[in-house]
Structure 1
């Protein structure tokens, strides 16, 4: 079954680290929702196909009104055939969560909520330009529970300038107190073009050293696994039965449709992406067109894609899916990592060991065709 991603690029303010396409031009929300619905109407599935997962990401989808969210779902279910057990996720900011909003979301098909907690240190939240406080994260989870949501995910960040291992461990402990079903974790990245990157260039902040980052990552793994979470992907941990089905479809190479400005789509043979400009996106859709680029994927590109997504998961890369040429190349280049204990080969699947997780980019690069 295919996945459906709907990009909601609106934010009331931009976080200092964010490299995703978003806008603070909230006055465009009405026209944008209309454009989303129009794009969906022109991009149906092939006959017999169904949508297994739906993901409203951003940006901040909780910046839309309930009426606007209702309209989006009306069109989703009008245009597509949705599986009865579909996983339907919405991203939210903790400070947007109110009892009224949570109750309204329960009337929609949404059955999973993903929130960006990032850290429980209020000074660092201020540094990131996040709008919420640490207390609001706890309040948001409680409100969602009372409304009946039984599948909640939070995002955590580590590797802040001057952050100590002890401070990171305190964040992990507080996250575990929430007892959510899923936790995604990311080391703070300095992406070119972001305010955070400019601070780095100006010498106002400094990246943590690699050894401390490594200790933070393994502390995270040890603490979450001890608490009963499955480490099923490099950055993701889940209670049993609560893996993100939508994100897992990306890592398994399952086709998906991306709706909205900057949204990406994949159909095995091609990869396409809509223009990353809300004004251009809306203008094109209103003229009955779609402003996008497309890339046709050859055999080597599909192999490289498989390496970079499958190796992120605990299952790893299924060697039986490779051609003879790809298999020979893969095993030849994997040999030194197998000998070093960074990769393991089990039942025709090659995967990262715990030590290999931290240097995964280097290993994936070695296995890719050039």
Structure 2
């Protein structure tokens, strides 16, 4: 089984981020206590099986102190059986990863997910990132020196009004680091972000889909030629270095999310916690779970499988779709499937549905076209 903990604090707000977080750290200690309490309240949510992955996400989990991290992991071990081979990931910003901090982290986690985003100083400032280009390049070497070889770094592409030479430089820099895992995401402009508000006022350029598509192709070519496996649209890994935790999401395995805004899934329902730190803490202190539960319909389960499965190298099994739907999926969606085959975006390889290379640019559109209704 799989456990996610949301650490909703950041030093400053990145202009593109719409995840739940606060830049005030005044409630951090109280929230860590609440996370520990929620772990106890939710201990029976998952089947009684060992945890295979633990993931500290955010926000910026690298803001946790050693005592806070120790408190959280001690609580997890007290409430769950943790596999001896569990993947324990912590998201981190480069500016937090001093040699001393990395030596501490090594005692508690075995994988880092580092939010580099770009190696270009001007772009980092424009995004309002807290780290510098120098820190972005140095942190990977410091992590290796600390013994944390298993790491992933994040990149962002499709940034408007940014010449292609900067993207090419980002690709060259990330390849020079030779990390085992790379995640790369197209810049999306969400309404409730600084970029979104600027765009509404006409002060920010619209998303450049052609630029994003061109850079995605360059990304895919460069990383696959360098020996990375493109196992999910936004994720590339050396063999045997797939992100086990995120793969669990894409393969619809049960997971428990702890903390404000965290989501959970148990196979037949989803639940999601309130995205408000003060209200989350208050409810947990009263022994209440601040969660909304959504029972999944047949259509929900089929559509979620399409949405997640088509993003991966494993695709979607028609046999599994038949089982979820309770009837022949190919027959029920015959016209839409024909349209997707004709577009060249979708491939039928016997029992499997796969996205073509061109189709990876339109994954959500392909999945939405194939969605079923109750």
Alignment TM-score > 0.5, same fold: yes
Count of matched residue pairs:
368
Does residue 344 (structure 1) correspond to residue 347 (structure 2)? The answer is: yes
CA distance in 2 between partners of 1:167 and 1:329 (Å): 47
Counterpart in the other structure of 2:4: 5
SS at the partner of 1:27? coil
The equivalences for 1:168-187 within 5 A come to: 168-187=167-186
Counterpart in the other structure of 1:116: 115
Q: Is the 8 A contact 1:35 1:285 kept in 2?
A: yes
Q: Deviations over 1:325-361 (max 9, x none)?
A: 4342344422222233211122411010101001112
**1:208 shift after superposition:** 4.6
CA distance in 2 between partners of 1:150 and 1:180 (Å): 8
CA distance in 2 between partners of 1:264 and 1:66 (Å): 26
CA distance in 2 between partners of 1:309 and 1:237 (Å): 16
Q: Is the 8 A contact 1:161 1:205 kept in 2?
A: no
Counterpart in the other structure of 1:286: 285
Q: Deviations over 1:174-199 (max 9, x none)?
A: 11111111111111111011111111
Does residue 76 (structure 1) correspond to residue 79 (structure 2)? The answer is: no
| Residues 235 and 250 of structure 1: CA distance in aligned 2, closer, same or farther (over 3 Å) | same
| Residues 191 and 47 of structure 1: CA distance in aligned 2, closer, same or farther (over 3 Å) | closer
Counterpart in the other structure of 2:49: 49
Q: Deviations over 1:206-228 (max 9, x none)?
A: 13532222111101100010111
Counterpart in the other structure of 2:215: 216
Q: Deviations over 1:245-282 (max 9, x none)?
A: 10000000001000000100000111000100000000
**1:161 shift after superposition:** 2.3
TM-score (norm: length of structure 1): 0.97
Gaps of 5+ in 2: none
Counterpart in the other structure of 1:298: 297
Counterpart in the other structure of 1:147: 146
CA distance in 2 between partners of 1:273 and 1:137 (Å): 33
Q: Is the 8 A contact 2:274 2:280 kept in 1?
A: yes
Q: Is the 8 A contact 2:273 2:291 kept in 1?
A: yes
Q: Is the 8 A contact 1:162 1:208 kept in 2?
A: no
SS at the partner of 2:344? coil
SS at the partner of 1:302? helix
Counterpart in the other structure of 2:187: 188
Q: Is the 8 A contact 2:16 2:194 kept in 1?
A: yes
CA distance in 2 between partners of 1:58 and 1:120 (Å): 21
TM-score (norm: length of structure 2): 0.96
Match of 2:364 among 346, 357, 361: 361
Does residue 206 (structure 1) correspond to residue 205 (structure 2)? The answer is: yes
Does residue 166 (structure 1) correspond to residue 165 (structure 2)? The answer is: yes
Counterpart in the other structure of 1:107: 107
CA distance in 2 between partners of 1:47 and 1:358 (Å): 37
Q: Give the CA RMSD over aligned residues.
A: 1.2
CA distance in 2 between partners of 1:31 and 1:246 (Å): 27
CA distance in 2 between partners of 1:236 and 1:260 (Å): 25
Counterpart in the other structure of 2:35: 36
CA distance in 1 between partners of 2:166 and 2:100 (Å): 34
Q: Is the 8 A contact 1:165 1:215 kept in 2?
A: no
**1:148 shift after superposition:** 0.4
